[in-house]
Amino acid sequence: MIAAGTRRCCGFAGLLRLAALAVPLLCSAAASAQGQGPSPARPANAPGTPAAPGASTAPTAADRAAAAKKPGAAWYRGNYITLDASEPTAGFRSRWMFERTPGNDIRLVLDEQRKAGPQSGTVLIIGQKALLTRDMVLARKGALMPAVDGPTLLLNLTLRLLERGVPDGPQSVRRERSISVKDDVQALSIETPSAAGTFLPPWQLTGKVVRKGDAIEFDLLLVSRSRADAKASNNTALRGSWRSDERKPPELRDDMPLEGWALHAIAGVAKEVNRRQAIVYDALPRQGFATLGELRKAIELGWPAQPDTAYHGKKQ
Protein backbone atom coordinates (compact mmCIF):
# COMPACT_ATOMS: atom_id res chain seq x y z
CA MET A 1 0.00 0.00 0.00
CA ILE A 2 1.26 3.44 -0.89
CA ALA A 3 0.63 6.18 1.67
CA ALA A 4 0.06 9.86 1.06
CA GLY A 5 3.23 11.89 0.73
CA THR A 6 2.60 14.71 3.20
CA ARG A 7 5.55 15.18 5.53
CA ARG A 8 5.82 17.47 8.50
CA CYS A 9 8.65 19.44 10.02
CA CYS A 10 9.06 21.77 12.94
CA GLY A 11 10.77 25.16 12.88
CA PHE A 12 12.97 26.90 10.36
CA ALA A 13 15.63 24.23 9.94
CA GLY A 14 12.96 21.58 9.41
CA LEU A 15 11.42 23.59 6.59
CA LEU A 16 14.75 23.63 4.81
CA ARG A 17 14.92 19.82 4.93
CA LEU A 18 11.56 19.22 3.26
CA ALA A 19 11.70 17.17 0.07
CA ALA A 20 8.06 17.43 -1.06
CA LEU A 21 6.91 20.13 -3.45
CA ALA A 22 5.48 23.30 -1.93
CA VAL A 23 4.39 25.05 -5.15
CA PRO A 24 0.65 25.17 -4.18
CA LEU A 25 1.52 27.63 -1.41
CA LEU A 26 2.48 30.25 -3.95
CA CYS A 27 -0.76 29.68 -5.79
CA SER A 28 -2.68 30.24 -2.55
CA ALA A 29 -1.66 33.87 -2.93
CA ALA A 30 -3.36 33.95 -6.31
CA ALA A 31 -6.44 32.23 -4.90
CA SER A 32 -6.67 34.92 -2.25
CA ALA A 33 -6.47 37.58 -4.93
CA GLN A 34 -9.50 35.92 -6.51
CA GLY A 35 -11.39 36.00 -3.20
CA GLN A 36 -10.71 32.43 -2.08
CA GLY A 37 -8.28 33.23 0.72
CA PRO A 38 -5.10 31.40 1.73
CA SER A 39 -4.92 27.64 2.03
CA PRO A 40 -6.20 26.45 5.42
CA ALA A 41 -4.41 24.17 7.85
CA ARG A 42 -5.81 20.70 8.44
CA PRO A 43 -8.09 20.27 11.47
CA ALA A 44 -6.44 19.16 14.70
CA ASN A 45 -9.47 19.22 16.98
CA ALA A 46 -13.12 18.20 16.66
CA PRO A 47 -15.66 21.07 16.47
CA GLY A 48 -16.16 22.63 19.87
CA THR A 49 -13.07 21.01 21.37
CA PRO A 50 -10.64 23.47 22.97
CA ALA A 51 -7.35 23.60 21.12
CA ALA A 52 -4.43 21.98 22.90
CA PRO A 53 -1.05 23.75 22.92
CA GLY A 54 0.60 23.25 19.56
CA ALA A 55 -2.64 22.37 17.76
CA SER A 56 -4.02 24.16 14.72
CA THR A 57 -7.66 24.40 13.69
CA ALA A 58 -8.96 24.47 10.13
CA PRO A 59 -11.44 27.13 8.96
CA THR A 60 -14.67 26.07 7.28
CA ALA A 61 -15.56 27.18 3.75
CA ALA A 62 -17.59 30.00 5.26
CA ASP A 63 -14.60 31.01 7.40
CA ARG A 64 -12.37 31.16 4.31
CA ALA A 65 -14.91 33.24 2.38
CA ALA A 66 -15.17 35.67 5.27
CA ALA A 67 -11.39 35.80 5.67
CA ALA A 68 -10.94 36.66 1.99
CA LYS A 69 -13.04 39.79 2.53
CA LYS A 70 -10.89 40.98 5.42
CA PRO A 71 -8.32 43.70 4.73
CA GLY A 72 -5.48 41.42 5.87
CA ALA A 73 -6.15 39.05 2.95
CA ALA A 74 -4.64 41.69 0.66
CA TRP A 75 -1.16 40.60 1.78
CA TYR A 76 -1.64 37.46 -0.35
CA ARG A 77 -2.10 39.57 -3.49
CA GLY A 78 1.51 40.71 -3.66
CA ASN A 79 3.13 40.00 -7.04
CA TYR A 80 6.62 41.43 -6.40
CA ILE A 81 8.16 40.16 -3.16
CA THR A 82 11.76 39.93 -1.98
CA LEU A 83 12.57 37.92 1.12
CA ASP A 84 15.77 37.70 3.13
CA ALA A 85 15.68 34.87 5.66
CA SER A 86 18.26 33.72 8.18
CA GLU A 87 18.64 31.26 11.02
CA PRO A 88 22.09 31.35 12.65
CA THR A 89 21.71 27.99 14.37
CA ALA A 90 20.96 26.36 10.99
CA GLY A 91 23.92 28.08 9.30
CA PHE A 92 21.55 29.56 6.74
CA ARG A 93 20.96 32.89 5.05
CA SER A 94 19.20 33.68 1.82
CA ARG A 95 17.76 36.26 -0.54
CA TRP A 96 14.79 35.21 -2.66
CA MET A 97 12.83 37.17 -5.24
CA PHE A 98 9.28 36.10 -6.13
CA GLU A 99 7.21 37.37 -9.05
CA ARG A 100 3.70 36.14 -9.83
CA THR A 101 2.09 36.73 -13.22
CA PRO A 102 -1.66 37.32 -13.77
CA GLY A 103 -1.80 33.69 -15.00
CA ASN A 104 -0.33 32.54 -11.64
CA ASP A 105 3.03 31.44 -13.03
CA ILE A 106 5.96 32.14 -10.72
CA ARG A 107 9.51 33.38 -11.21
CA LEU A 108 11.76 32.56 -8.23
CA VAL A 109 15.36 33.79 -8.03
CA LEU A 110 17.50 32.16 -5.33
CA ASP A 111 20.72 33.27 -3.66
CA GLU A 112 21.52 31.18 -0.58
CA GLN A 113 24.34 30.18 1.72
CA ARG A 114 23.91 26.87 3.54
CA LYS A 115 26.16 24.68 5.65
CA ALA A 116 26.36 22.34 2.66
CA GLY A 117 27.44 25.19 0.37
CA PRO A 118 25.98 27.93 -1.86
CA GLN A 119 22.72 27.52 -3.75
CA SER A 120 21.51 29.86 -6.49
CA GLY A 121 19.67 30.13 -9.78
CA THR A 122 16.32 30.96 -11.37
CA VAL A 123 13.20 28.78 -11.29
CA LEU A 124 10.00 29.26 -13.30
CA ILE A 125 6.92 27.42 -12.03
CA ILE A 126 4.50 27.03 -14.93
CA GLY A 127 0.90 25.94 -14.46
CA GLN A 128 1.82 23.95 -11.33
CA LYS A 129 2.97 21.24 -13.77
CA ALA A 130 6.47 22.27 -14.86
CA LEU A 131 9.70 23.64 -13.43
CA LEU A 132 12.12 25.51 -15.69
CA THR A 133 15.56 26.17 -14.21
CA ARG A 134 18.53 28.21 -15.37
CA ASP A 135 22.03 28.69 -13.96
CA MET A 136 21.16 26.42 -11.03
CA VAL A 137 23.82 25.66 -8.42
CA LEU A 138 22.53 23.19 -5.82
CA ALA A 139 24.06 22.71 -2.37
CA ARG A 140 23.23 19.00 -2.65
CA LYS A 141 23.34 17.23 -6.00
CA GLY A 142 19.91 16.40 -7.37
CA ALA A 143 18.05 18.26 -4.60
CA LEU A 144 15.91 20.47 -6.84
CA MET A 145 12.71 19.97 -4.86
CA PRO A 146 14.16 21.27 -1.55
CA ALA A 147 15.45 24.28 -3.48
CA VAL A 148 11.81 25.15 -4.21
CA ASP A 149 10.29 23.95 -0.93
CA GLY A 150 12.12 26.20 1.51
CA PRO A 151 11.44 29.52 -0.26
CA THR A 152 7.78 28.81 -0.97
CA LEU A 153 7.01 27.64 2.56
CA LEU A 154 8.81 30.60 4.13
CA LEU A 155 7.06 33.00 1.75
CA ASN A 156 3.75 31.63 2.95
CA LEU A 157 4.93 32.00 6.56
CA THR A 158 5.88 35.63 5.90
CA LEU A 159 2.48 36.45 4.39
CA ARG A 160 0.78 34.73 7.34
CA LEU A 161 2.84 36.81 9.78
CA LEU A 162 2.10 40.05 7.93
CA GLU A 163 -1.58 39.18 8.03
CA ARG A 164 -1.37 38.56 11.81
CA GLY A 165 0.83 41.57 12.49
CA VAL A 166 -1.04 44.05 10.26
CA PRO A 167 -4.58 42.63 10.05
CA ASP A 168 -5.97 45.78 8.44
CA GLY A 169 -3.86 45.10 5.36
CA PRO A 170 -1.07 46.76 3.39
CA GLN A 171 -3.27 49.70 2.46
CA SER A 172 -3.22 50.76 6.13
CA VAL A 173 0.59 51.16 6.18
CA ARG A 174 1.32 54.86 5.62
CA ARG A 175 4.36 55.29 7.84
CA GLU A 176 6.58 53.12 10.02
CA ARG A 177 4.48 50.79 12.13
CA SER A 178 5.56 48.44 14.91
CA ILE A 179 4.38 44.82 15.12
CA SER A 180 3.98 42.78 18.28
CA VAL A 181 1.92 39.58 18.35
CA LYS A 182 2.12 36.70 20.81
CA ASP A 183 0.33 33.36 21.06
CA ASP A 184 0.80 30.89 23.90
CA VAL A 185 -1.65 28.28 22.55
CA GLN A 186 -1.95 28.06 18.76
CA ALA A 187 0.92 26.85 16.58
CA LEU A 188 1.72 28.55 13.30
CA SER A 189 1.11 25.86 10.68
CA ILE A 190 1.85 26.14 6.97
CA GLU A 191 1.12 23.27 4.64
CA THR A 192 0.16 21.95 1.23
CA PRO A 193 -1.16 18.53 0.18
CA SER A 194 2.46 17.35 0.10
CA ALA A 195 4.41 19.33 2.70
CA ALA A 196 3.84 20.87 6.11
CA GLY A 197 5.71 22.90 8.69
CA THR A 198 4.90 24.03 12.23
CA PHE A 199 6.25 26.74 14.52
CA LEU A 200 5.37 25.71 18.07
CA PRO A 201 3.87 27.91 20.78
CA PRO A 202 4.54 29.89 22.70
CA TRP A 203 5.67 32.07 19.80
CA GLN A 204 6.16 35.80 19.53
CA LEU A 205 6.35 38.04 16.49
CA THR A 206 8.03 41.44 16.67
CA GLY A 207 9.20 43.85 14.02
CA LYS A 208 8.07 46.71 11.84
CA VAL A 209 6.70 47.64 8.44
CA VAL A 210 7.22 50.91 6.59
CA ARG A 211 5.96 52.20 3.26
CA LYS A 212 8.58 53.19 0.67
CA GLY A 213 6.73 54.49 -2.38
CA ASP A 214 4.58 51.71 -3.83
CA ALA A 215 6.38 49.06 -1.77
CA ILE A 216 6.20 48.06 1.88
CA GLU A 217 9.40 47.01 3.60
CA PHE A 218 9.17 44.56 6.50
CA ASP A 219 11.58 43.44 9.22
CA LEU A 220 10.21 40.56 11.29
CA LEU A 221 11.52 38.28 14.01
CA LEU A 222 9.62 35.13 14.94
CA VAL A 223 10.68 33.42 18.17
CA SER A 224 9.13 29.99 18.64
CA ARG A 225 9.66 26.98 20.88
CA SER A 226 12.13 24.33 19.79
CA ARG A 227 10.77 20.81 19.48
CA ALA A 228 14.21 19.34 20.25
CA ASP A 229 14.62 21.32 23.49
CA ALA A 230 11.58 22.80 25.25
CA LYS A 231 13.82 25.33 26.99
CA ALA A 232 15.35 26.52 23.71
CA SER A 233 13.86 28.68 20.99
CA ASN A 234 14.05 29.08 17.22
CA ASN A 235 14.76 32.63 16.05
CA THR A 236 13.64 33.20 12.46
CA ALA A 237 14.45 36.58 10.91
CA LEU A 238 12.49 37.61 7.82
CA ARG A 239 13.23 40.86 6.00
CA GLY A 240 12.25 42.13 2.60
CA SER A 241 9.78 44.11 0.54
CA TRP A 242 6.21 43.56 -0.65
CA ARG A 243 4.49 45.17 -3.62
CA SER A 244 1.28 44.61 -5.55
CA ASP A 245 1.17 46.17 -9.02
CA GLU A 246 -1.90 45.27 -11.05
CA ARG A 247 -1.15 47.88 -13.75
CA LYS A 248 2.31 46.47 -14.60
CA PRO A 249 2.37 42.89 -13.31
CA PRO A 250 5.24 40.49 -14.03
CA GLU A 251 5.25 38.91 -17.50
CA LEU A 252 6.36 35.53 -18.82
CA ARG A 253 5.50 35.78 -22.50
CA ASP A 254 4.44 32.85 -24.69
CA ASP A 255 7.17 33.70 -27.24
CA MET A 256 9.93 33.33 -24.63
CA PRO A 257 12.48 30.81 -26.01
CA LEU A 258 13.36 27.89 -23.74
CA GLU A 259 16.88 27.43 -25.05
CA GLY A 260 19.21 27.35 -22.05
CA TRP A 261 16.45 26.34 -19.63
CA ALA A 262 16.25 22.87 -18.07
CA LEU A 263 12.70 21.46 -18.05
CA HIS A 264 11.28 19.24 -15.30
CA ALA A 265 7.78 17.81 -15.00
CA ILE A 266 6.15 18.01 -11.57
CA ALA A 267 4.82 14.52 -10.88
CA GLY A 268 4.12 12.10 -8.08
CA VAL A 269 6.65 9.33 -7.69
CA ALA A 270 6.68 6.35 -5.32
CA LYS A 271 9.59 6.50 -2.88
CA GLU A 272 10.48 5.09 0.49
CA VAL A 273 9.70 7.56 3.28
CA ASN A 274 10.34 6.46 6.87
CA ARG A 275 10.44 2.80 5.74
CA ARG A 276 7.10 3.09 3.95
CA GLN A 277 6.27 3.61 0.31
CA ALA A 278 4.68 7.00 -0.32
CA ILE A 279 3.74 9.13 -3.30
CA VAL A 280 5.80 12.31 -3.12
CA TYR A 281 6.23 15.07 -5.66
CA ASP A 282 9.47 15.22 -7.59
CA ALA A 283 10.97 17.06 -10.56
CA LEU A 284 11.46 14.69 -13.49
CA PRO A 285 13.71 15.82 -16.38
CA ARG A 286 11.91 16.36 -19.69
CA GLN A 287 12.63 17.80 -23.17
CA GLY A 288 10.81 18.93 -26.25
CA PHE A 289 9.52 22.54 -26.23
CA ALA A 290 10.97 25.50 -28.10
CA THR A 291 8.95 28.26 -26.42
CA LEU A 292 7.05 28.86 -23.23
CA GLY A 293 3.84 29.05 -25.25
CA GLU A 294 4.38 25.51 -26.56
CA LEU A 295 4.85 24.25 -23.01
CA ARG A 296 1.70 26.02 -21.80
CA LYS A 297 -0.29 24.54 -24.69
CA ALA A 298 0.96 21.06 -23.81
CA ILE A 299 -0.03 21.57 -20.18
CA GLU A 300 -3.54 22.57 -21.30
CA LEU A 301 -3.70 19.28 -23.23
CA GLY A 302 -2.70 17.22 -20.18
CA TRP A 303 1.12 17.24 -20.14
CA PRO A 304 2.73 15.39 -18.45
CA ALA A 305 0.40 12.58 -19.52
CA GLN A 306 1.17 10.04 -16.78
CA PRO A 307 2.84 10.64 -13.40
CA ASP A 308 5.84 8.45 -12.83
CA THR A 309 4.57 6.25 -9.97
CA ALA A 310 7.11 3.45 -10.41
CA TYR A 311 8.86 2.71 -7.12
CA HIS A 312 12.28 4.38 -7.16
CA GLY A 313 13.48 2.95 -3.86
CA LYS A 314 15.14 6.21 -2.84
CA LYS A 315 14.90 7.04 0.84
CA GLN A 316 13.87 10.56 1.80
pLDDT computed for residue 214 by the predictor: 94
Cβ burial, residue 23 (10 Å; 0-12/13-18/19+): buried
Q: Are 139 and 117 in contact (CB under 8 A)?
A: yes
Cα angle value 183/186/189 (rounded, 5°): 115
Predicted confidence at residue 80, as pLDDT, reads 98
Tell me, what's the pLDDT at 12?
A: 53
Phi then psi for residue 230, to 5 deg, are -60, -20
pLDDT along the chain (316 residues), means of 10: 42 45 40 38 29 37 64 94 86 92 95 90 93 92 80 90 96 96 93 69 96 97 88 89 96 97 87 76 88 97 68 40
Q: What SS3 class is residue 87?
A: strand
| Residue 44 CB neighbours (<10 A) | 16
**pTM of the predicted protein model:** 0.76
